[in-house]
Structure 1
Amino acid sequence: MHKRLLDNLRTAVVMLDSELRVRYLNPAAEMLLATSAVRAVGQTLPEYFYDDADARAALEQCIEDEHPFTRREARLSVAPGYEVTVDYSVSPINEPGQPLCLLLELQALDRLLRITREEALLHAHQATRALVRGVAHEIKNPLGGIRGAAQLLERALPDPELTEYTKVIIDEADRLRNVADRMLGPRKPPQFRPVNVHECLEHVRQLLLAEHPVGVAIWRDYDISLPDVVADRDQLIQVLLNLIRNATQALLESATENARIIMRTRVLRQFTIGALRHRLVLRVDVIDNGPGIDPEVQETLFYPMVSGRAAGTGLGLSIAQSIISQHHGLIECESVPGETIFSILLPMEQPDEVEKENVAL
């Protein structure tokens, strides 16, 4: 009866003997630790479980003192390229006539941490966009007066050579107005229609190959079974072009050997974006093997006027995030030296269905 209860728990449970050998793990633990009970039972607790130098000592101390303890946000590298973040509690079990055992309860945190990070990113982006739009409007208001005054002054100047200075004023006013327009982002609301994302990616690929026929290889890794996504085609192409062009420029500026970009599409089921759960989510990854993005820049990468490139304006990613946000989606970034991944997450249902489904939940 007790085993059946443990087998149906969603919390991962592992039982260890006094030698730190695995005696039992439930199905939730098998999934979390990417192993099977047949393989794990009888084996010493894997080395990856000792997330720092004190972890093994803490387990041995627990056996000696029979005192429980808890560790928070431990990182476990359970397989090559696969890490999990967990909270785990260790409790000694010492029944009369039975050898001492340790009960480990593990709670996966990756999904919770990702949801918290995404919500923070969305809220920060919304607040920043509201501030930037207000500033952009305040910039544009006096620019019209400055430009008009410069034009009137130009007509009244007696010496034609002096118009060179008024031309500088007019040109700079126009430049600032263009910057303010870009900060305001798209003016038209998205025109939602069924869109084939692979057709959009191929369109962008052809544009990039025309701009840079040599130097960067563009690979495709498509899930061709994907249905159409409901989106604004032109705006989606604008976002894809921005991400892939940024990756291309980063590779060329760093003179990366065997430079390549991978365009990958996948579908995610029952996936949460921010605080909303969606039945199907389209994930489009733009992956490059460049030098990576400075960790200090990654946290603010989608803020206006922040760029990871010396020649960047800092507006492209902010506008791209704003467009995808209007589609109820999100752009994420993960970067280490040698691999940078920008991921577009888009719900595949109609925008009004997103609201209805989550109200029902």
Structure 2
Amino acid sequence: MKAVNTVRVSKNYELPSRLMDHLTTAVMLLDDDLRVMYMNPAAEQLMAASMSQLLGTSIQHLFHDNDQSTQADLQSALRDLHPFTKREAQVFIGNNPQLVTMDYTITPITASNQTHSLLLELRPLDRLMRISREDNILNAHQATRALVRGVAHEVKNPLGGIRGAAQLLARELPDGAMTEYTDIIIAEVDRLRNLVDQMLGPRKLPKLALANIHEVLERVRSVLSAETGEPGSTDSVQIHRDYDPSLPELWVDKDQMIQAILNIVRNAKQALNESEDQANPIVVLRTRALRQFTIGHVRHRLLVLVEIEDNGPGVSREMQETMFYPMVSGRASGTGLGLSISQSIISQHHGLVECDSRPGQTIFRLLLPLEQPEGQFNVGA
């Protein structure tokens, strides 16, 4: 039997280093005082620090939650010598604590000299949950689009017949004053057809060309400022910019992208203006680069992230589940089409729109791939 390469972490403990170093699960070994004795590379990456930096550090500084239940779990496992697993725990991780959703398992280990230690396995779930959420958004969007297309086909055909019949009726009416009624029929039919067309979103494929995303955002600011005639603001809403000037140009249909972002920023502005007790309403336009990021099942080398953040009352959890569906609106005067159209435009660019919201902070995130298209769309000069 071949000897196993080991790393000695103390005089009482040896671990098979090659095995531990190649695990994708973060593994930490704690002594009976709950201090770090060993970390594999996955744990170092999770903690954003090397083992040499954290050796001997109390685990309560690196792994804790709001109600200290994680510390109670560690103490209980060490005292009772029973393994313990917790699913989808909200835990603060690292020296600069970041809140992470994870599964963790605590396994007591007894050495030959009867000393005890704990093996702590950490499995972050944020990435998996985000990919699952993105899949749900994309699938729901595709299903909704298919439903709307079917309904639009069934509605537009009889509307065309009604409009034609109203025009013929108007010609045959003996009293010209009665054409007022046929004019109403024609006008309402046209209104319904326009509504259906808006539900379908842009019917033309994007005409892609290289563009600077900041030019798009500045155009949106200009449009909103022109609506009130006050440079740099809309009504009492201030628009702040937080741009990354190093971002390269990306392939987009500039006009469609302006429309997509304008819909979202205008929604944020209206929500702030309609909030009666909103003090110092602010919308922030932010850009960043994201590397090695997955949208659905496609991994992109580089993405442009556009965030539209406001400090308004927030969006309810129930509304967040349906807000990108056509005809769904949280405002009495809203049509419920703006966000649906924005999602359609970004989806045609192989991107995605996400929303995270709580009272006092709502963030819409637009994820746009930077890769050059491979003949999917019309590419402008």
Q: Is TM more than 0.5 here?
A: yes
Q: Which residue pairs with 1:344 in the alignment?
A: 366
Aligned CA distance change for structure 1 residues 81 and 54 (closer, same or farther; 3 Å): closer
Alignment of 1:146-165 (within 5 A): 146-165=162-181
Report the 3-state secondary structure (helix = DSSP H, G, I; strand = E; otherwise coil) of the residue aligned with 1:277.
strand
Given residue 318 of structure 2, which amino acid in structure 1 is its aligned partner? E
Q: Which residue pairs with 1:359 in the alignment?
A: none
Structure 2 unaligned residues grouped into runs of 5+: 1-5, 8-14, 377-381
Q: Which residue pairs with 1:69 in the alignment?
A: 84
Report the 3-state secondary structure (helix = DSSP H, G, I; strand = E; otherwise coil) of the residue aligned with 1:264.
strand
Over the matched positions of the two proteins, sequence identity in percent amounts to 58
Paired residues of 1:77 and 1:83 also in contact (CA < 8 A)? yes
Alignment of 1:52-201 (within 5 A): 55-78=70-93, 82-201=98-217
**Per-residue deviation, residues 196-235 of structure 1 (Å, max 9, x unmatched):** 1111111111111111324111111111111100111111
Report the 3-state secondary structure (helix = DSSP H, G, I; strand = E; otherwise coil) of the residue aligned with 1:242.
helix
Tell me the distance in 1 between the aligned counterparts of 2:289 and 2:170.
59
Aligned CA distance change for structure 1 residues 81 and 48 (closer, same or farther; 3 Å): closer
Alpha-carbon distance, 1:108 to partner: 1.2
Given residue 104 of structure 2, which amino acid in structure 1 is its aligned partner? Y
Q: Which residue pairs with 1:18 in the alignment?
A: 32
**Per-residue deviation, residues 1-26 of structure 1 (Å, max 9, x unmatched):** 33644455432122223343433334
Q: Which residue pairs with 1:292 in the alignment?
A: 314
Alpha-carbon distance, 1:73 to partner: 1.2
Q: Which residue pairs with 2:356 in the alignment?
A: 334
Tell me the distance in 2 between the aligned counterparts of 1:122 and 1:139.
25
Structure 1 unaligned residues grouped into runs of 5+: 355-361
Q: Which residue pairs with 1:260 in the alignment?
A: 282
Q: Which residue pairs with 1:205 in the alignment?
A: 221
**Per-residue deviation, residues 327-350 of structure 1 (Å, max 9, x unmatched):** 111011111111111111011011
Query: What is the aligned counterpart of 1:230 among 251, 254, 266?
Result: 251
Report the 3-state secondary structure (helix = DSSP H, G, I; strand = E; otherwise coil) of the residue aligned with 1:62.
helix
Indicate the structure with greater helix content: 1
- Please give the root-mean-square deviation of Cα atoms over the aligned residues, in Å: 2.3
Alpha-carbon distance, 1:56 to partner: 4.2
Report the 3-state secondary structure (helix = DSSP H, G, I; strand = E; otherwise coil) of the residue aligned with 2:374.
helix
**Per-residue deviation, residues 229-282 of structure 1 (Å, max 9, x unmatched):** 011111111111111111111111114221111111111111111110011111
Query: What is the aligned counterpart of 1:43 among 38, 49, 58?
Result: 58
Alpha-carbon distance, 1:193 to partner: 1.1
Paired residues of 1:269 and 1:278 also in contact (CA < 8 A)? yes
Alpha-carbon distance, 1:47 to partner: 8.6
Aligned CA distance change for structure 1 residues 68 and 130 (closer, same or farther; 3 Å): same
Paired residues of 2:65 and 2:92 also in contact (CA < 8 A)? no
Report the 3-state secondary structure (helix = DSSP H, G, I; strand = E; otherwise coil) of the residue aligned with 1:218.
strand
Tell me the distance in 2 between the aligned counterparts of 1:229 and 1:352.
14
Please give the TM-score of this superposition, normalised by the length of structure 1. Answer: 0.90
Paired residues of 1:24 and 1:41 also in contact (CA < 8 A)? no
Tell me the distance in 2 between the aligned counterparts of 1:196 and 1:55.
47
Report the 3-state secondary structure (helix = DSSP H, G, I; strand = E; otherwise coil) of the residue aligned with 2:150.
helix
Given residue 37 of structure 2, which amino acid in structure 1 is its aligned partner? R
Alpha-carbon distance, 1:136 to partner: 1.0
Q: Which residue pairs with 2:238 in the alignment?
A: 217
Please give the TM-score of this superposition, normalised by the length of structure 2. Answer: 0.86
Alpha-carbon distance, 1:302 to partner: 0.9
Report the 3-state secondary structure (helix = DSSP H, G, I; strand = E; otherwise coil) of the residue aligned with 2:60.
coil
Given residue 275 of structure 2, which amino acid in structure 1 is its aligned partner? S
